[in-house]
């Protein structure tokens, strides 16, 4: 998300389809206006929706804030043979227009799972809306939850999971780069099946 009042784009009736196919590595971004000063940025990554580059770089150019939010349910222990293994994670990263101790990142929170187990990481300036007691919970997965991400976004004026928060105008951007044989590619429907996702789940970044 970008906190910036100037938004450009075109009307598209099926704008999410512009992200198809979902690929690894990703090669498309979708910018969508919202009912606020924030502009949403989505990517078409299959395993990971990485919007770090535009969300962190554009605040330096536009003198605004950028917010990277990601959530994926853990699918690392499924017995389904056709399932793409997806490690669970929750991410909150806030960027600004000025350099900090790490690039221009103001605040970073992350809960993630990998072969070594769950881990929690935080850095930067604590924000007034944060639920600090949650970071002390014994279960690492509970230190940054889906519901907490929603509340943190709401404190910034972002209703991240409300469809009517997003406006009608959007702009699709395709990156340039060479594709390689074996790069994974799926439609949204195929990805939902192979990642074992149901409607209402929210993998990816915003």
The answer to the question of residue 62 being in a domain is: yes
Q: Which whole number is the average pLDDT over 132-147?
A: 97
Asked if residue 202 is part of any domain, the answer here is no
Q: What is the pTM of this model?
A: 0.79
Residue 106: what pLDDT? 97
Ramachandran region, residue 58 (left: φ > 0; alpha: ψ -120 to 50; beta: rest): alpha
Q: Is the pLDDT of residue 139 over 70?
A: yes
Is residue 56's pLDDT more than 70?
Answer: yes
The answer as to whether 201 is a domain residue is no
How many Cα atoms are found within 13 Å in the side-chain-facing hemisphere of 76?
A: 12
Q: How far is CA 70 from CA 14, 73, 108, 110, 191, in A?
A: 23, 10, 12, 9, 17
CA 41 to chain centre: 8
Poorest-pLDDT segment among 79-83, 95-99, 104-108, 141-145? 79-83
Higher pLDDT, 10 or 154: 154
Is 38 a member of any domain? yes
Tell me phi and psi for residue 71, to 5 degrees.
-150, 135
**Quick one: pLDDT at residue 74?**
77
Number of domains in the chain: 1
Nearest to 1 by CA among 130, 154, 203, 113: 154
Express each pLDDT in 94-120 by its tens digit.
999 999 989 999 999 999 998 899 999
DSSP category for residue 9 = -
Domain presence at residue 98: yes
* Residues recorded for the chain: 206
H-type alpha helices, 77-169: 146-155
Instruction: For residue 206, tell me if it sits in a domain.
Output: no
Pairing of β 10-11 and β 2-3: unpaired
**Residue 203 forms part of a structural domain:** no
Tokens of 110: 């992350």
Q: Would residue 205 count as lying in a domain? A: no
Among residues 94, 96, 33, 38, which one has the least CA distance to residue 69? 94
Domain that residue 76 falls in: 2-194
């Amino acid at each position: 998300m970008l906190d910036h009042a100037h938004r450009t784009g075109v009307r598209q009736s099926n704008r999410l389809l512009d992200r198809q196919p979902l690929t690894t590595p990703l090669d498309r971004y979708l910018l969508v206006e919202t009912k606020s000063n924030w502009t949403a940025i989505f990517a078409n990554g299959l395993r990971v929706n990485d919007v770090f580059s535009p969300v962190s770089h554009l605040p330096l150019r536009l003198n605004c804030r950028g917010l990277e939010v990601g959530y994926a349910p853990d699918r690392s222990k499924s017995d389904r043979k056709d399932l793409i293994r997806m490690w669970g994670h929750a991410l909150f990263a806030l960027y600004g227009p000025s350099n900090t101790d790490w690039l221009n990142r103001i605040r970073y929170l992350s809960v993630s799972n990998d072969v070594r187990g769950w881990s929690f990481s935080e850095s930067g300036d604590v924000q007034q809306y944060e639920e600090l007691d949650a970071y002390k919970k014994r279960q690492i997965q509970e230190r940054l939850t889906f519901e907490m991400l929603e509340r943190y976004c709401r404190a910034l004026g972002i209703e991240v999971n409300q469809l009517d928060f997003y406006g009608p105008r959007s702009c699709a951007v395709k990156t340039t780069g060479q594709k390689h044989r074996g790069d994974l590619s799926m439609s949204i429907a195929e990805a939902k099946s192979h990642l074992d996702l149901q409607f209402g789940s929210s993998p990816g970044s915003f």
